[in-house]
Amino acid sequence: METVVSLSRKNLHKNREPSEKWKFIQKHGRVCKKCGSTDGYNYLLDHIIPIGVGGDIHNENNFQILCDRCHGKKSGFDRKIMNELVKKKYMTKGILKIFYKPIEECIEYYKRRFKELEDEN
């Protein structure tokens, strides 16, 4: 059975308060979850499991704060894994995603591959 999910920014953010991001950052402080950096000004609220793989956009358990450098590295891993998922026919690319396998399987694949890529680097 296929699952279709729209990833348009309008749909993703329609139920999200603009200050939700800042509330989370204030609550947890400006500390990078990966490297522990407190230097600099640019910290980003990152989705641990990317929305494009089935991660929850509104669940605080799927949020982490990353510095620019760590966010860039993670985003590179995310793109690589999402391309693998497309090649392996787990899902399609693009704003209107079609998941050919259960979203839970996509998330498990993502977690496993992310750990492997992190361990390699």
pTM of the model: 0.83
pLDDT of residue 62: 94
Domain ranges of the chain: 3-120
Among 23-27, 31-35, 62-66, 69-73, which stretch is predicted with the lowest mean pLDDT? 23-27
Q: From the DSSP assignment, how many helices (H) and strands (E) are in the chain?
A: 4, 4
Predicted confidence (pLDDT) at residue 13 exceeds the cutoff of 60: no
Would you say 68 and 38 are in contact if contact means Cβ atoms under 8 Å apart?
Answer: no
Tell the residue number behind the tokens 């693009």, with chain if given. Answer: 94
pLDDT tens for each residue of 39-56: 766 888 899 999 999 999
Neighbours of 5 (CB within 10 A): 16
